[in-house]
Structure 1
Amino acid sequence: MISREENARMTLTGAAMPAGKLMRLYWQPVALADELAGPRPVKAVRLMDQDLVLFRDEAGRLGLLDRDCPHRGADLAYGRREHGGLRCPFHGWLFDVEGKCLQMPAEPPDSRYCERIRQGAYPVRERNGVIFAYLGAGAPPAFPDFDCFIAPASHCFAFKGHMECNWLQALEVGIDPAHASFLHRFEEDESTETGYGRQFRAASIDSNIPMTTLLREYPRPKIDVEPAPFGLRLLTRRLLNERQTHLRVTNLLFPNAFVIPMSAEMTITQWHVPVDDGSNYWYAMFTSFGQPVDKDEMRRQRLELYELPDYKPRLNRANHWGYDSEEQRTRTFTGMGFDINVHDQWACESQGAIADRTREHLGTSDKAIIAYRRLLLRSIAQAEAGETPLMVLDAAAASGITGPAAMDAIGPTEGWEAYWPEVDRKRRSNASWAKSAA
């Protein structure tokens, strides 16, 4: 049972909050690189209850600054990008990507006041289309050698979407293996040949059975959760017969990401990043072990639901997530169309801005949720005690955190434990860029 105090410890991510202090020990996605395209690469962003401005200077360097000018608090998101930094339009103070004040043009020419002013600035790094920020104190951790970070740009596609709810309930959907048989159930199966770019429309590895069939007809999985160097590994089995078992391998990347399969050759690494306590963005990196990703098609599909420039969904609470009772009776379990992002949106947002976990009654199928919450609370306590939590990595440790493996596959009922690592090994051996998985 989760108490109100524990719920607050896990969900609130302001700078003074326990979970906020923990989350600031890690790199967090803050924008897509695409959002800085165009003639003025300056963007207001909000991350974990902090208002910031992200920009590229004329040399292409990324900067992330506190949004309020340290002079009199004017909004730097409206700043002029010039002369090696971002200039406040109010009095012309100019700041570079490190927060150093370069100019105070209204001050006397011999004034050295500029040397004493520093704007809050934060490290930023770009990885395969996602810009990450570090809001913590001291040096940031190293990036692990996850597949989505080391794959060539041609084999990775990044996208995002907005959700009107707390980050934790959104993340917990991604580490819940049981929900897919219900929330994402379709009463009809499409050809797996036309499922590119859409989750649960492909076939499992070593079969031609559509994932929609497997999820619909085998709704009672056996779930095993085990600790891993990166967080948690989830092994979900659906017994087909005495000889064959469907195996789904997914992963929790601590603290707020997961890796799941998309198709036989593609995986999804997805973060749920707090904007504030009542909203979050998901950032997904789609990584291919086979052919280069068709980025134009992937983007076209997702822009059918999400509107620019804020990546907010067209289907939401205001229009009941597109709910149709006749469709629910005859075609889908939810009655909310065939895009699983809408299903997840409803499941998360309908719990309220912050889910009241004191009212839950968890079952056996929730063992991954339970394991993650224990890990999260333990890590918050470690951070409070000044200890180093899981996945705060130095360069040596980061190079050993690879993969991880994620797949849907039809394997043997007896010997499945050896089957899935071999499937992963074969897939990686055919990808010139891939490392063996941790």
Structure 2
Amino acid sequence: MMSQEANDQITRTGRQDPCGKLMRMYWQPAALVDELQGPRAVRPVKLLGENLVLFRDEQGRYGLIDRHCAHRGADLAFGRLENGGLRCAFHGWLFDVSGLCLETPAEPKDSKLCQGIKQRAYPVVEKRGILWAYLGEGEPPAFPEIDCFVAPDSHTFAFKGHINCNWLQALEVGIDPAHASFLHRFFEDEDTSTAYGKQFRGASAGSDMPMTKILREYDNPIINVEHTEYGMRLIALREIDEERTHVRVTNQLFPHAFVIPMSTEMTITQWHVPIDDENCYWYAIFTSYAAPVDKKKMRDQRLELYELPDYTSRKNKANDYGFDPHEQATETYTGMGNDINVHDQWAVESMGAIQDRTNEHLGTSDKAIVQYRRLLRQEIEKVVGGEKPFMFLDEAHARSIQGPATMDGIGPTRGWEIYWMEVDVKRRRGAPWAAPVPSEIAGKIRHLSAAE
């Protein structure tokens, strides 16, 4: 059982909170690039409990500054984009992307007032459809060279969704391989040829067996957890018979992301970003190893559920997530429709705004969650002690963090250990872009092949 003090330590992300200090050591998704399209590129952003405003000036530079004007505290989200910055609508004070005060027009012409004024500002970079912000001190870390950052824009698509709960319980769903056989169970299988853009609706690699059938009929996986240079690798094994085993390989990317297979051709890299302690956004980059991503189709599919401008779900606590008891009896395990995002949202929001982990009882299937929490607490303590945490990368180390490898398919019951790596490597080598083969995987395949 976890103490309340320990639960607070790993969930609360304010500027003075230990976990908040850790999270500020990493780049955080602040908005989708799509959110700043149009003639007025200004958007309020709440990130790690801080009220900020994000804007793009006339030169195309991005700024992320305190939302409340340094003059009298008026809301800069209603400011005017002009003269190289964002101008407060109250008295016309003008701030550039670095937070410098450029003009205080109501002051006397010879006033030097603005020279000593600076709005708190954070660096912003655009990467694969997401605007990333660094809220920490000093030089930010380098981005790892993982697939979603290496693939060309044509082969990636970014989206987000709001969840009304703490970031940690949202993340922990993604490192829980057992839940998919229950929460995402469908009683009937669809035509897998229509599964583009949908998770758990296609066929498993190396077979024509729908994922829905595998999850439904083999609901007691063996779960292996391996520690890696980026976090953890999770391998869930569902033995179909003496000859065949379904293998699903997913990854936890420290501190708050996971990388999972979406289909035989696509992966999802997903971050769970604290808005504040009781709300978060998931940000996902979908990466294709085959054809360019059909971005319009992917966006239209997701906009059936998520409403703009805040990317909130149309199915939520207020309407019982669309729960239908007849559907629960005849079609789906939850009775909440076909979109697994709704299933996940119900599960984590139903725990409360911040899950009370003092009352939970973890089992063997929760081993990845147990190990992740241990790692999280360890790295929080490092930062509190003045050390750099795990995955705070310099340029040289960032180049070595590649992949990570994923797989979802049916392989041999004896020999699955090498089979999944071969499937991942074959997909990478066949990609139309230079998808790197992680050295760890390449080394194991060469070693095992030579030994045979």
Match of 2:427 in 1: 427
Q: Compute the displacement of 1:174 (Å).
A: 0.7
State how far apart, in whole Å, the 2-side matches of 1:59 and 1:434 are: 33
Match of 2:169 in 1: 169
SS at match of 1:46: strand
Q: Compute the displacement of 1:107 (Å).
A: 1.9
State how far apart, in whole Å, the 1-side matches of 2:229 and 2:106 are: 54
Match of 2:396 in 1: 396
Letter aligned with residue 20 of structure 2? G
Match of 1:145 in 2: 145
Match of 2:262 in 1: 262
SS at match of 1:178: helix
Mean Cα deviation higher: 425-434 or 390-399:
425-434
State how far apart, in whole Å, the 2-side matches of 1:15 and 1:146 are: 28
Match of 1:26 in 2: 26
1:114-263 alignment, distance < 5 Å: 114-263=114-263
Letter aligned with residue 277 of structure 2? D
Is the Cα contact below 8 Å between 1:32 and 1:130 reproduced in 2?
yes
Match of 1:65 in 2: 65
SS at match of 1:310: coil
Q: Compute the displacement of 1:112 (Å).
A: 2.1
Ranges of 4+ aligned residues in structure 1 off by more than 6 Å: none
Match of 1:346 in 2: 346
State how far apart, in whole Å, the 2-side matches of 1:434 and 1:80 are: 43
Q: Deviations over 1:16-67 (max 9, x none)?
A: 1111110000001110000000000000010011000001000101110011
Q: Compute the displacement of 1:260 (Å).
A: 0.6
State how far apart, in whole Å, the 1-side matches of 2:369 and 2:403 are: 22
Q: Percent of aligned positions with the same letter in both sequences?
A: 66
1:41-80 alignment, distance < 5 Å: 41-80=41-80
1:359-378 alignment, distance < 5 Å: 359-378=359-378
SS at match of 1:250: strand
TM-score of the superposed pair, with normalisation by structure 2: 0.96
TM-score of the superposed pair, with normalisation by structure 1: 0.99
- What is the root-mean-square deviation of aligned Cα atoms in Å? 0.8
Q: Compute the displacement of 1:319 (Å).
A: 0.6
Q: Compute the displacement of 1:279 (Å).
A: 0.7
Match of 2:447 in 1: none
Q: Deviations over 1:84-119 (max 9, x none)?
A: 110111111111111111111122222222221111
SS at match of 2:121: coil
State how far apart, in whole Å, the 1-side matches of 2:188 and 2:121 are: 52
State how far apart, in whole Å, the 1-side matches of 2:123 and 2:169 are: 28
Q: Deviations over 1:122-154 (max 9, x none)?
A: 011111111111100111100110111111111
State how far apart, in whole Å, the 2-side matches of 1:102 and 1:127 are: 28
State how far apart, in whole Å, the 2-side matches of 1:301 and 1:353 are: 28
Letter aligned with residue 258 of structure 2? F
SS at match of 1:200: coil
SS at match of 2:224: strand
Is the Cα contact below 8 Å between 1:85 and 1:94 reproduced in 2?
yes
SS at match of 1:248: strand
State how far apart, in whole Å, the 2-side matches of 1:403 and 1:60 are: 31
Are 1:355 and 2:355 matched, yes or no?
Answer: yes
Match of 1:382 in 2: 382
1:313-324 alignment, distance < 5 Å: 313-324=313-324
Q: Compute the displacement of 1:416 (Å).
A: 1.4
Letter aligned with residue 203 of structure 1? A
Is the Cα contact below 8 Å between 1:306 and 1:313 reproduced in 2?
yes
**Structure 1 portions without partners, runs of 5+:** none
SS at match of 1:420: helix
State how far apart, in whole Å, the 2-side matches of 1:205 and 1:390 are: 33
SS at match of 1:341: helix
Q: Compute the displacement of 1:423 (Å).
A: 1.1
Match of 2:290 in 1: 290
State how far apart, in whole Å, the 1-side matches of 2:423 and 2:314 are: 38
Match of 1:85 in 2: 85
Are 1:437 and 2:438 matched, yes or no?
Answer: yes
Aligned residues: 438
SS at match of 2:209: coil
Q: Deviations over 1:327-378 (max 9, x none)?
A: 1111100011111011001000000100000100000000000010000000
State how far apart, in whole Å, the 1-side matches of 2:330 and 2:418 are: 40
State how far apart, in whole Å, the 1-side matches of 2:31 and 2:9 are: 26
Are 1:406 and 2:406 matched, yes or no?
Answer: yes
Q: Compute the displacement of 1:216 (Å).
A: 0.4
Is the Cα contact below 8 Å between 1:152 and 1:433 reproduced in 2?
no
State how far apart, in whole Å, the 2-side matches of 1:419 and 1:331 are: 34
Letter aligned with residue 20 of structure 1? G
